């Protein structure tokens, strides 16, 4: 195995020379990741989506000149130099009722048309992307951090802590994810004057609520593989060597175990973001995720649901962005896993 | 290796037992059985000698090694180092003792943290024990690297950039960092290529002379042990069945198990090899959860009689030079209980 590793980075030994800089496992993983075109493509796509989503206020204020959070039922806009009403009478298939303006493909004037409240769909999709990414990345981050801390506590200490934490996680695991999220969200959303502990209060319209709910329901999905890795690393001889040297518990945990466990978390993280973004969209679509006035991709799809036959772009645009984001994250996640693969390379080398 | 027998007793292992509980139950775990990994082992190691510990996989030799450096808590018995009982010391009280004895591990791939630089790996024990400031630690690490035959320029490299033999040298350097008196080498060469094995064994040999080390050398290969040991203890299912000066064991094995082990050592001469009678042990090693009654070797022993199943043979001297064995039907036996026997190094 060492021969394989040696072949990979051919480097002439320099006897007598100055200290040879070693290539850390992290640097090697980074190089492998950079060489993976799909992963880098995914990363670039993800960064573009993040950039345009976080530019939402710039777009709404300086390009489209609209307020996407305000109803605009009597508004007008300019299409091909002509003044057009946002809500058109009988524009639909049955020529009944009001139909919002369709896509104009003009970035300054309702690029993707209007929704049923006369709001600019393009701006709402961008704002929605901001919320979706914030909730998705935030919940994946919180989930990974909490699950890792719990897994280290449980796996490293064993005994009662391990039994209690692992059974708790099993209870969460036992519920279907979406069902559990719906239950928790419904209860918390209907709590009078928000939820909170002590001085911290989260109102129902805050993005923190869906973020924390989603982080909670996915805890066991990170906890389990990380705990498994903690258990397997803790039995390695280098941990025994550190014990025989007289290393303290915290030294063992942070210096020996954690650096060898964190790779699992890093591999899981992008894949978790993809999952949490999908969950957020699901919850928001069911109107128990991101609450108005905030928009998210899920709520925009939900808005577009009634207009599916007349103005399909309202639902399609956020749908495409969700698909692209999840695809980008999965490509990146696979690349990170291949680069850091704890199963193949680290086991051989470790 | 060096044969300076007759030094002071450095390590005394007395009646050590280590049972691993087998637990069942979801929330409330109860013990359903025990693995008798080490079951009443007594041993004395003198300063400067090398004692080889041999036996099949699962006979408890590694567990015994780990018990000595207190990686496992003892179920029973005591271990004293330089006359001081260390088997009941708390973590903190044990800390200064940790310096005195270190371990070299079997698997050079699992025994070095892949996320640390070699310099850090070797410096860690120095830092843990607060020995020296930054520059002193650095100098000492370079010294140690040179001592084990590696180039100090490699201080910033990671373990994956070394071969198995080099990694094992790093493991040895780490064990030596604290100037220990005793080194438990747990099959230090089993995972290496044969050509590299010799290098590492010679390194350990040289270091012993230079640094006045005492080794407990664990191996499953009698060939390797013969080369390094002053005395050899043969273990079977958690017990020492025979202990003897190294050469004596090869020339005059007393326990049938030792005889069988020796007959499995390959002889490089094909003619000699063909003439030799090979004793093939039948059956598997019995389960250490429910060890056999009486002599633990009796189900596989070709000399076994009724008494072997009923009575456990004590470890008694057979001839002088501290040769002891635990058998009802000793081979080549002319037991001279006390007459000309120098006091046995291990009292059973």
Q: What is the CATH number of the domain that holds B63?
A: 3.40.50.300
Per the structure, the complete domain to which residue A262 belongs is given by 41-56+127-349
Q: Which residue of B has its CA nearest to A261?
A: B115
pLDDT digits (tens, 9 = 90+) for A68-105: 777 777 777 777 777 777 777 665 555 566 777 777 77
Least confident of A19-33, B91-105, B170-184: A19-33
Q: Residue A14's pLDDT band (boundaries 50, 70, 90)? A: very low
**B111 in contact with chain A, both atoms CB, cutoff 8 A:** yes
Q: What is the ipTM of this complex?
A: 0.84
Token pair belonging to B86: 């260390």
B167 and B289, same domain (yes or no): no
Query: Could you give the CA distance from residue B188 to residue B168 in angstroms, rounded to a whole number?
Result: 7
CA distance B2 to chain A (A): 26
Residue B123 is assigned to a structural domain of this protein: yes
How far CA B247 is from CA of B30, B232, B242, B250, in Å, comes to 47, 9, 13, 5
**B226, two tokens:** 């013969």
The verdict on residue A20 lying in a domain is no
Q: Which residues of B touch A238 (CB under 8 A)?
A: 110-113
Which residue among A6, A21, A241 places its CB closest to the CB of B105? A241
Is residue B269, in this structure, part of any structural domain at all?
yes
State both tokens at A60. Answer: 């709404």
Q: Is residue A244 within 8 angstroms of chain B, CB to CB? A: yes
Do B161 and B211 sit in the same domain of this protein? Answer: yes
**Residue-number span of the structural domain to which B159 is assigned:** 9-236
Q: Tell me, yes or no, if A4 comes closer than 8 A to chain B by beta carbon.
A: no
CA distances from B293 to A270, B328, B347 (A): 58, 14, 22
**Considering B236, B270, B294, which residue would you say is the last residue of a domain?**
B236
Per the structure, the count of domains in chain A is 1
- Residue A286 · residue A189 · CB < 8 Å: no
Inter-chain touch A246–B98, beta carbons under 8 Å: yes
Q: Does residue B204 form part of some domain?
A: yes
Give the gap in angstroms from C-alpha B335 to the nearest C-alpha of chain A: 41
Categorize the per-residue pLDDT at A289 as very low, low, confident or very high, splitting at 50, 70 and 90: confident
User: Nearest Cβ partner of B158 from A17, A25, A236?
Assistant: A25
Kindly state whether B109 is in contact with chain A, defined as any CB-CB distance less than 8 angstroms.
yes
Residues of B in contact with A348 (CB under 8 A): 109
* Predicted local confidence at residue A225, as pLDDT: 94
Mark whether B83 and B180 lie in a shared domain.
yes
Mean pLDDT of chain A: 83
Confidence of residue B142 (pLDDT cuts 50, 70, 90): very high
pTM: 0.82
Selecting from A6, A24, A348 the residue whose C-beta is nearest the C-beta of B158 gives A24
Q: Which is more confident, A137 or A194?
A: A137
Pairing of strands B9-24, B76-81: antiparallel
Q: A9 falls in which pLDDT band (50, 70, 90)? A: very low
CA distances from B304 to A210, B261, B301, B313 (A): 74, 17, 5, 12
One domain for residues B169 and B259: no
pLDDT of A261 strictly over 80: yes
Return the residue of B nearest to A349 by Cα.
B160
Encoded tokens for A144 = 């990974």
What is the domain-level CATH number for residue A258?
A: 1.10.3720.10
User: Is A110 a residue whose pLDDT tops 60?
Assistant: yes
> What confidence category does residue B175 fall into, taking pLDDT thresholds of 50, 70 and 90?
very high
The predicted-structure confidence for B258-271, as pLDDT tens digits, reads as follows: 888 888 877 777 78
What pLDDT is stored for residue B344 in this prediction? 40
pLDDT classification of A18: cutoffs 50, 70, 90: low
Q: Do B114 and A240 touch (CB under 8 A)?
A: no
The answer to the question of residue B242 being in a domain is: no
Compute and round to an integer the Cα radius of gyration of chain B. 21
Q: Which one is predicted more confidently, A109 or B118?
A: B118
Same domain, B70 and B213: yes
Tokens 């925009």 found at: A300
Categorize the per-residue pLDDT at B2 as very low, low, confident or very high, splitting at 50, 70 and 90.
Answer: very low
Q: Strand A98-100 vs strand A195-197: parallel, antiparallel, or unpaired?
A: unpaired
The domain tally of chain B equals 2
Mean pLDDT, range B121-148, rounded to an integer: 90
Residue A230 belongs to some domain of the structure: yes
Q: Are B123 and B29 in a shared domain?
A: yes
């Amino acid at each position: 195995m060492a021969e394989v590793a040696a072949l990979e980075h051919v480097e002439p030994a320099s006897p007598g020379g100055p200290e040879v800089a070693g290539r850390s496992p992290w640097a090697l993983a980074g190089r492998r990741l950079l060489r993976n075109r799909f992963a880098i493509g995914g990363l670039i796509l993800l960064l573009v989506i993040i950039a345009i989503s976080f530019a939402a206020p710039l777009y709404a204020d300086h390009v489209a000149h609209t307020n996407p959070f305000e109803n605009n039922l009597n508004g007008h806009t300019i299409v091909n130099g002509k003044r057009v009403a946002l809500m058109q009478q009988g524009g639909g298939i049955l020529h009944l009722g009001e139909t919002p303006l369709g896509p104009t493909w003009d970035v300054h004037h309702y690029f993707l048309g209007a929704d049923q409240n006369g709001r600019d769909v393009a701006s709402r999709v961008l704002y929605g992307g901001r919320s979706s990414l914030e909730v998705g990345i935030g919940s994946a981050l919180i989930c990974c951090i909490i699950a890792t801390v719990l897994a280290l506590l449980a796996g490293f200490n064993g005994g009662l802590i391990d039994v209690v934490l692992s059974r708790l996680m099993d209870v969460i695991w036992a519920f279907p994810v979406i069902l559990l999220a719906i239950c928790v969200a419904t209860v918390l959303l209907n709590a009078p004057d928000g939820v909170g502990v002590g001085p911290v209060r989260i109102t129902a319209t805050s993005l923190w609520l869906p973020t924390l709910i989603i982080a909670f329901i996915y805890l066991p999905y990170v906890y389990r593989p990380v705990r498994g890795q903690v258990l397997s690393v803790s039995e390695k001889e280098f941990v025994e060597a550190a014990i025989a040297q007289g290393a303290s518990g915290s030294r063992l945990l942070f210096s020996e175990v954690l650096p060898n466990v964190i790779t699992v978390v890093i591999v899981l993280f992008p894949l978790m973001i993809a999952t949490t973004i999908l969950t957020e969209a699901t919850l928001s679509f069911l109107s128990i995720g991101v609450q108005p006035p905030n928009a998210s991709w899920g709520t925009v799809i939900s808005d577009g649901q009634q207009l599916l036959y007349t103005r399909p772009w309202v639902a399609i645009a956020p749908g495409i962005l969700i698909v692209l984001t999840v695809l980008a994250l999965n490509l990146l996640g696979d690349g990170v896993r291949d680069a850091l693969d704890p199963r193949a390379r680290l086991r051989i080398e470790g | 290796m060096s044969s300076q027998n007759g030094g002071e007793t450095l390590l005394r292992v007395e009646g050590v037992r280590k049972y691993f509980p087998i637990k069942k139950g979801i929330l409330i775990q109860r013990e359903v059985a025990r693995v008798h990994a080490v079951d009443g082992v007594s041993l004395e190691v003198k300063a400067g000698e090398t004692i080889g510990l041999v036996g099949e996989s699962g006979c408890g030799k590694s567990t015994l090694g780990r018990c000595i450096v207190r990686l496992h808590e003892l179920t029973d018995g005591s271990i004293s180092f330089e006359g001081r009982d260390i088997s009941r010391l708390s973590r903190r009280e044990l800390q200064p003792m940790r310096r005195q004895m270190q371990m070299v591990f079997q698997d050079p791939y699992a025994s070095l943290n892949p996320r640390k630089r070699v310099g850090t790996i070797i410096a860690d024990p120095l830092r843990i024990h607060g020995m020296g400031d930054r520059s002193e630690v650095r100098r000492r690490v370079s010294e140690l690297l040179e001592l084990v035959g590696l180039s100090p320029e490699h201080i910033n490299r990671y373990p994956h950039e070394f071969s198995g033999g080099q990694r094992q040298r790093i493991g040895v350097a780490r064990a030596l960092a604290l100037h220990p008196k005793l080194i438990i080498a747990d099959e230090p060469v089993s995972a290496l290529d044969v050509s590299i094995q010799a290098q590492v064994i010679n390194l350990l040999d040289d270091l012993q002379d230079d640094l006045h080390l005492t080794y407990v050398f664990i191996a499953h290969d009698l060939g390797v042990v013969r080369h390094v040991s002053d005395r050899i203890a043969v273990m079977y299912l958690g017990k020492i069945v025979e202990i003897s000066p190294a050469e004596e064991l090869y020339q005059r094995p007393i326990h049938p198990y030792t005889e069988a082990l020796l007959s499995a050592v390959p002889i490089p001469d094909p003619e000699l090899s063909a003439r030799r009678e090979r004793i093939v042990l039948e059956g598997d090693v019995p389960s250490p959860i429910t060890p056999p009654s009486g002599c633990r070797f009796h189900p596989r022993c070709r000399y076994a009689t009724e008494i072997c199943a009923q009575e456990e043979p004590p470890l008694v001297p057979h001839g002088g030079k501290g040769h002891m064995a635990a058998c009802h039907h000793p081979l080549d036996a002319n037991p001279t209980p006390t007459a000309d026997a120098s006091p046995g190094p291990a009292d059973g």
